[in-house]
Amino acid sequence: MDEKGMIAKAKVYLKQEYGEDTVSMDVTGNTVGETGTGVLSVDCTVSVGGSRSDWSKKFHFRNGDITRMDWKSR
């Protein structure tokens, strides 16, 4: 799975699960292997209802799908 595809999935996940619009997203780490399993780490800015916030998030992938996400404020 390529990084561009993982970023696209992460943006969709944030919108569907949390109603967050992604303003910016920078990859800080990527351990996702060819099987689509691992962790994509990002620093991102999101917007909800016009209010922006900055986060570090880790998207856990299994077989190409996001199974969960960890986050902390930046």
Q: Give, for all 74 residues of the chain, the pLDDT tens digit.
A: 799 999 999 999 999 999 999 999 999 999 999 999 999 999 999 999 999 999 999 999 999 999 999 999 99
CATH number at residue 7: 3.10.450
Which of 49, 61, 54, 48 is closest to 8 using CA atoms? Answer: 61
Amino acid 64: pLDDT: 96
> What does the alpha-carbon distance between residue 13 and residue 37 come to, in Å, rounded to a whole number?
16
Q: For residue range 23-41, list pLDDT tens digits in order.
A: 999 999 999 999 999 999 9
pTM, rounded to two decimals:
0.95
What range defines the domain where residue 48 resides? 3-73
| Helix segments in 1-74, DSSP class H | 3-18
> What does the alpha-carbon distance between residue 57 and residue 34 come to, in Å, rounded to a whole number?
21
Strands 38-48, 51-62: pairing kind:
antiparallel
Q: How many domains does the chain have?
A: 1
